[in-house]
Amino acid sequence: MIGQVSPSAEIRPDDQTMEEVMSQYQAALLRYATRVLNNADAAQDVVQDTFIRFHSNWSRITQRGLPVKGWLFRTAHNAAVDLIRKESRLRFLHERKGQEPEPPDPFDEERQREREERHALVMEHLEALRPKEREVLVLRLQEEMSYKEIAGVINRSEGYVGSLIHTATKKLTQSLRHAGVIS
């Protein structure tokens, strides 16, 4: 998938131009912010704000040799939390679904429809989790972040992240099993 970042592909600010970094991480940050906010328009604002902050802090990030991926996701996380607090619309934002449509499969439309239905069911059940549980699962499964990277993004310990992922996975599995999505 274009814009997907491998967890082992950590870069330093001096390795690439700012435009290359923005191009590499934009899609991943947008997916992440959309899942956190459940609002694609607000997610675009958060990602734009993240890159504005990135631009403003470019020299500081370069001088300190900070990991770009962690910095960007942490900044996007903070911007998303700030937006939720500022607008006082937590309930509204978490009820709206931000879904990224999958590209059509020209060879097997039936299989694609089934996959989309399963994806929609999983996303529906994912939305039933607590916001922190949903957030860590998205970071781990969709963004392929390590526990350490997730801990940095949500500003918690790796143990807390592991516990939260375990609890969220167990809840999601039980919910999907109860709904007959998995056996």
Question: What distance in Å separates the CA atoms of residue 25 and residue 150, rounded to the nearest whole number?
Answer: 16
- Calculate helix-pair angle for 158-178, 147-154, nearest 10 degrees: 100
pLDDT score at 93? 40
Angle in degrees, CA 71, 13, 139, rounded to 5:
30
pLDDT means per 10 residues in the chain (183 residues)? 43 66 92 89 93 89 85 92 68 47 61 77 82 87 87 92 91 85 75
The model carries a pTM of: 0.54
Among residues 46, 74, 100, the one where a domain terminates is 100
pLDDT score at 105? 53
CB atoms within 10 A of CB 6: 8
Among residues 56, 75, 100, the one where a domain terminates is 100
Q: What is the CATH number of the domain that holds 61?
A: 1.10.1740
pLDDT score at 2? 38
Among residues 100, 125, 146, the one where a domain terminates is 100
Residue 170 lies in a domain: yes
Angle in degrees, CA 123, 177, 30, rounded to 5:
15
pLDDT score at 104? 57
Asked whether residue 112 falls in the same domain as residue 67, the answer is no
What domain range is 118 assigned to? 105-183
Asked whether residue 67 falls in the same domain as residue 131, the answer is no
